[in-house]
Amino acid sequence: MSDVIATNQTILVVGGGISGVTAAIEAAECGKQVILVEKNPSLGGRVSQLYKYFPKLCFPSCGMEINLRRMKANRNLNILTMTEVSAVSGESGNYSVTLKTSPRYVNENCTACGECEKAVESEFDSEYDYGMKKRKGAYLPFNMSYPQRYVIDPAMIGTPDAQNAKNACKYGAIDLDMQESETTLTVGAIVWATGWQPYDADKIQPYGHDRYDNVVSSVEFERMLDPFGPTGGKIVRPSDGKEAKDVAFIQCAGSRDRNHLSHCSRICCMATLKQTTYLREKYADDFKASVYYIDIRAIDRIDDFYQKVQDDENVSFIKSKVASITEDKDTGNPVLHGVDTEGYNRYDNPHDLVVLAVGMEPSVSKDSFPIDVVVNDSGFIEADEKNGGIFAAGCSSDALDVNRAVQSATASALRAIQVVNRVAGTEG
């Protein structure tokens, strides 16, 4: 990291998901010096864990490939992974930031040949698969990881397996003595793009995500569709591996709820509509999807996607906030209890699998920002002059879909450029 040069005309982008990556590339392609930091071993963020995007049902890795190409070709961009911002001080045009980099135990000599992975036995829960799958202790987080460089799990350090990995590497790429390092840089503006995390479904107690195998969250369901994922691309029940063909989707799981997230997470309705198409993709006409909802928020011109799903006879919509879920012990079926508010009919509906459309909450909690920023009740950063040269991008500013997050990131890049251009103007 010692070779990173930064001045108060440099833009720091915090977070390497699609918003941070976009802000960084867009600014760099305007000719600005940019440092992009990401706390995980790879760029990509949440979108890299998605099977498809709504409403086009296209693949997120396609856009990521373009963005990777843009990054590889750009000399204005400096990318630091496994790095977090531990402290920020100063003001617009002149911030001092302290970056803390965790050891990857693999240096730039790595060719991603994969020999270290073959040499180790230890396995850990895969973060990429929300713990639904194991990965090795020497691993590439996912197919399109960038940098395309292996990682050694810190828990493996000091074990014989770590030595096995090192011995398997012919290129001197594994350095088991690598230490955490810290560096302090000067930057002019900061784009804050730390994104979101899925709301912890276990907290919605009546739904039993922590008790019933066949109640999964929407992000876990999404992982099932990855051919390289935990179920090899099959929609199956975690309890018994049987095909799940009768699937319930519960909207606003944690969102629009004073006990959980008071905001609307915006994406969950469209995500569920999208996920009903996965059922059709896998099971043709042999499936049933039931969507329990308050309002279907398929906003603006993509409402036609909702109209299309409504036309699917195998998908039904029930206006109801589900009260609770119990489990039928004999079948393992989750049973949904509640009242259909259109006509006030009580129901006790069993399904093969329940998907909780969990909300988005900001990754960085309200009181954990390294510098004071104006944050609203939901924890999103407000656009406020008091934030000086710090600009929120993407889901750190509000619950946004990918398209809007990228818009927001592009706008933030300009706001950051305004600051560094002002600095350049006064300093020449």
Nearest to 198 by CA among 390, 395, 11: 395
d(CA 254, CA 78): 37
Say whether residue 259 binds other proteins (CB under 8 A): no
- Beta carbons within 10 angstroms of residue 366's beta carbon: 14
CB 175 within 8 A of CB 162: no
CB 134 within 8 A of CB 122: no
Given the rule CB under 8 A, which of 202-210, 272-280, 363-371, 400-408 is the region that contacts other proteins?
400-408
Which of 2, 313, 348, 425 is the binder for other proteins (CB under 8 A)?
425
Shortest Å distance, C-beta 55 to other proteins: 8
Say whether residue 384 binds other proteins (CB under 8 A): yes
Helix or strand (DSSP H, E) at 161: helix 160-168
Which of 143, 184, 316, 368 is the binder for other proteins (CB under 8 A)?
143
- Beta carbons within 10 angstroms of residue 45's beta carbon: 26
Shortest Å distance, C-beta 2 to other proteins: 15
Residue with tokens 């829960």: 125
Chain centroid, CA 102 distance in Å: 20
Say whether residue 29 binds other proteins (CB under 8 A): yes
Q: Is the dihedral of CA 114, 116, 119, 125 positive or negative?
A: negative
Select 48 or 349, whichever has its Cβ closest to other proteins. 48
Site for other proteins in 116-135 (CB under 8 A): none
Shortest Å distance, C-beta 111 to other proteins: 5
Angstrom CA distances, 286 to 246, 279, 315, 355, stand at 9, 9, 11, 18
Which of 60, 93, 208, 334 is the binder for other proteins (CB under 8 A)?
60
Select 85 or 190, whichever has its Cβ closest to other proteins. 190
Site for other proteins in 350-379 (CB under 8 A): 374, 376-378
Given the rule CB under 8 A, which of 88-96, 208-216, 278-286, 409-417 is the region that contacts other proteins?
409-417
With a CB cutoff of 8 Å and minimum separation 6, the contacts of 129 are 135, 223, 229, 230
Q: Is 112 left (phi over 0), alpha (psi -120 to 50) or beta?
A: left
Given the rule CB under 8 A, which of 1-9, 28-36, 122-130, 177-185 is the region that contacts other proteins?
28-36
Select 292 or 380, whichever has its Cβ closest to other proteins. 380
Given the rule CB under 8 A, which of 21-29, 92-100, 240-248, 320-328 is the region that contacts other proteins?
21-29
Say whether residue 67 binds other proteins (CB under 8 A): yes
Which of 82, 113, 176, 371 is the binder for other proteins (CB under 8 A)?
113
DSSP β-bridge partners for residue 91: 94
Nearest to 413 by CA among 5, 21, 6: 21
Select 85 or 357, whichever has its Cβ closest to other proteins. 357
Which of 199, 212, 249, 380 is the binder for other proteins (CB under 8 A)?
380
With a CB cutoff of 8 Å and minimum separation 6, the contacts of 181 are 1, 100, 101
Angstrom CA distances, 39 to 13, 15, 93, 256, 401, stand at 12, 7, 24, 29, 22
Given the rule CB under 8 A, which of 52-60, 177-185, 321-329, 363-371 is the region that contacts other proteins?
52-60
Site for other proteins in 320-339 (CB under 8 A): none
Which of 8, 11, 17, 26 is the binder for other proteins (CB under 8 A)?
26
Angle, helix 18-28 to helix 402-427, in steps of 10 degrees: 40
Shortest Å distance, C-beta 410 to other proteins: 4
Rg from Cα positions in the chain: 23
Which of 87, 134, 171, 206 is the binder for other proteins (CB under 8 A)?
171
Number of residues that bind other proteins (CB under 8 A): 85
Select 86 or 109, whichever has its Cβ closest to other proteins. 109
User: Cα-flanking dihedrals φ and ψ of residue 238, to 5°?
Assistant: -60, -30
Site for other proteins in 183-242 (CB under 8 A): 227-228
Say whether residue 300 binds other proteins (CB under 8 A): yes
Shortest Å distance, C-beta 246 to other proteins: 25
With a CB cutoff of 8 Å and minimum separation 6, the contacts of 225 are 51, 52, 233, 235, 278
Which of 262, 316, 324, 368 is the binder for other proteins (CB under 8 A)?
262
